[in-house]
Structure formats: structure tokens, C-alpha cells
Homo-oligomer: A and B are copies of this chain.
Amino acid sequence: MRAEILNIGTELLIGQVVNTNATYLARELAMRGIDLYFITTVGDNPERIQQALTLAWERADLVICTGGLGPTADDLTHEMVAQFVGEPMVLDPEVYRRVEEAFALKGRRLTESEKKLACFPRTAELIPNPAGTASGVLLIRENKRLMTFPGVPYELTQMWETWARPYLEALDGGTIRSRLLKFVGITEAEAAERVSDLEEGSNPTVAPYAGSGEVHLRVTAKAPSIAAAEDMLEPVIAEILNRLGEFYFGTEGDTLPAVVGQLLKSRNETLAVAESMTAGLLGSRITDIQGASDYFIGGSICYQVAEKARALGIPAEFIERHGHVSPEVTQAIAEAVRRLTGADWAVGVTGYAGAGPNTPDAEVGHAYVALAGADGTEIASFRFGEHPRERVKHFASQRALELMFKRLRRPAAH
């Protein structure tokens, strides 16, 4: 099968939005072994959308459109698709009712223009949107397929995962199976070097991706059956884990906060945080995991020096002496929050997220992370370099989770 992606939306042509949808879909297609030769971005213009649809339909068996499914005047995709296949737009009463209900829940009524959320090309099959009010469509003509998805990345990925993945799997004769292996505590270059011979194979393939402070390897096998593909994956995965096992933390769907949470749960232990530089980001990431309230107590956002003193009892002169970004203060806030909350583990973070009047240039991106437990406190220092503040904070929270992961994986002390 040969696919083509058509991203529709003027916001992409004026550079207002980065086209992460194309990247997501490209990766999904690559994983399924579906060839992708062209990605085209076009604005909210009827003539040019028709032109792009015509070309994509000529070149590909599967045309994936994103964007232009909303309720405003410049959302044209379904009208354009209907025109392209020569069908009228028809209101779907069932969708209309659901959209009406969704609006009613927010205390709103549908305006005239919003009714188009329930109008589709006549013979289209609907693609349900579990995350929003704009449905997509599937149209089939002479063994060619056209699909539409919203431009909102979260809605697109939800629809893709719940609908398109199983749909494409059912279509596909042979099968493709892939496994994602996630690692922390090793650089992409180092990981790639250790498995460079495996990366040369063509089936299974081994491909590295660098995440934000993580390294991901995807192993993919094509075979006539699921069982055969799994059999091909197994020895390659075993070999990778043999070489990189100490850095391995999980697979598809596993996140470092989730894995750390599982470790805490299985050890029946609790966690608290004292966040200066990250100012709550670590707590927020930990609680992105359902059930975090079982092990996450909470803690202190001790951003200003005064708050380190008030909430955690660290004497201002101690902070003055060592510097508010220092191994000593980081250890002190971690140990204080552990003692005060009674948590089994506590993490402290201090650092310089970005430039500022009181920050030496060379210190921007420098952070300390401390992990306090019953058997003492570990402190690590990191230099991330100059990045946007959000990135530096993310890196620091990532390193804190990494420290917890490494420590909690070791058997409990008692």
C-alpha cells in the first residue's frame, strides 16, 4: 500500500503551528510498512485543496487528510472531499444529536455554522472521535481509500489509535509487529554504537529515536503471520536487552513516571518532593499517572529562599552560605520534606532554569537533584546547557525520575 498525507490548514502555511501530525502519521505508516512518498500541506482554499486531493489520489492508494473538520467558515475538508468524489453533504441525525448534547453539557447551543460538525459526504463511513466533537470519514473507491482526521493533535492520535490502527491491521495481509524499547541513563549515540550491527539488519529492523532525555529503539519485523513476526522479534530484543539491559525501563505506553510509580507501589513505599527550580513540574508529571495518590504524598514548591525557610525549616543563613543552588541545599530540602511528610523517599531539585539578573551565564542549565531515603541521600549534578526554561525544567525532572528509577529497582534495604 502507498500512502500520502495531506495536511490542510492555513495556520501551517503561515508558520503558526508546527506540523507534528505529519510526523506522527509518518511514523505510524512506517511502523506498518506502508510506503509514504509525499506529504503535502495546503491552506484553507477550495481550489488548491481540490488540486492537492486530485494529485494525492492519483499517486497513492491511501490518502490521509488532517485538519479542516471544525465548525468555522474556513473548515472546508469534508465539503471538498464530497465535491471531489461528487457526492452531496448529508446531515447525520445521530451525530447531530451527540454534538448537540456535548454542547448542552457546556451550557451552549449549536450555532448555524456549527451544524456542519454533523454533515458528511453521503456514502462516507464515519470515523468516531473519542476526544472531540469533529468526526472523520472514510471513503473507498476502487480499492483506494481516503481518510480524514481533525488537525488537533490529541484528537488525531486518539482516532488513529482507536480506529485507524486496527483498521489498517485488518486490511493488511501480511503482518507487521514492532516493539519499542525505552532506555534512560545512556546517550543516543552510545546506545546506537552498542547495537550498530543490529541496525544493519533489514528484517527485523532496529531504529533509534531520541526522546526528551530518553533513548528509544524500535524493533520491527514483517512476516506472514503474527506468530512468525513475534518469533523474529524475540531474539533481536533479547540481544538488545543483553547489551543495554541496565538502561532499559519499559516499552510502548510505559513512561518513566509510570514505571517509578509501579516500583513505589510494589515496594509499598511513598514519595514526597521539594521542588525549587522545577516548581511543581515533577509533582505534576508523577500525578499524570492514574493511581498516583496511592504513593505520592505531595510536598513543597520551595521557589523563593523564604519559602525554603518557612515550609522546610532550612535556615536562611545556611542557604546564604552554600548558595540556593548547591548540593547542600538540595540535600537539605529533600531530607526536610522527607522528615516532615514521613515519606519513604523524597526528591529535592534546585537549579538555574534560565538566564536572569542573578544567574551567572555559565550556570544556566545547571541543576542538582537529591534523592533522600532511609539509607541516606544521593545527590547528582547536571549541566543541560542553555535551552528554553521549560526544556531545562523537563530535563531536570527527567533526571530526578531516572535517579528514582535506578535506586528503586535495587532491592529494598530491609
Report A's interface with B, CB cutoff 8 A: 10-20, 22-30, 36-43, 45, 48, 52, 55, 70-74, 105-106, 108, 111, 113-114, 131, 154, 178, 187-190, 192-193, 196, 199, 207-210, 218, 272-273, 275-284, 286-293, 296-304, 306-307, 310-311, 340-341, 353-356, 383, 385, 387-391, 393
Contacts and interface: CB of A to CB of B under 8 A. Distances in A.
Given A283-B280, A283-B303, A108 B389 contact: no
Interface SS of chain A = mixed
A303 B283 CA distance: 9
9 contacts: A16-B27, A40-B40, A72-B188, A113-B189, A113-B193, A273-B301, A275-B283, A287-B303, A288-B389
Contact of A23 (B15, B288, B311): B15
Contacts of A393: 284, 287-288
Contacts of A17: 23
Nearest to A42: B38
Contacts of A14: 26-27, 30, 36, 178, 218
A323 to B, nearest CB: 14
B298 A301 contact: yes
A18 B190 CA distance: 22
A272 B306 CA distance: 12
A143 B401 CA distance: 51
Given A13-B39, A26-B13, A52-B38, A111 B304 contact: no
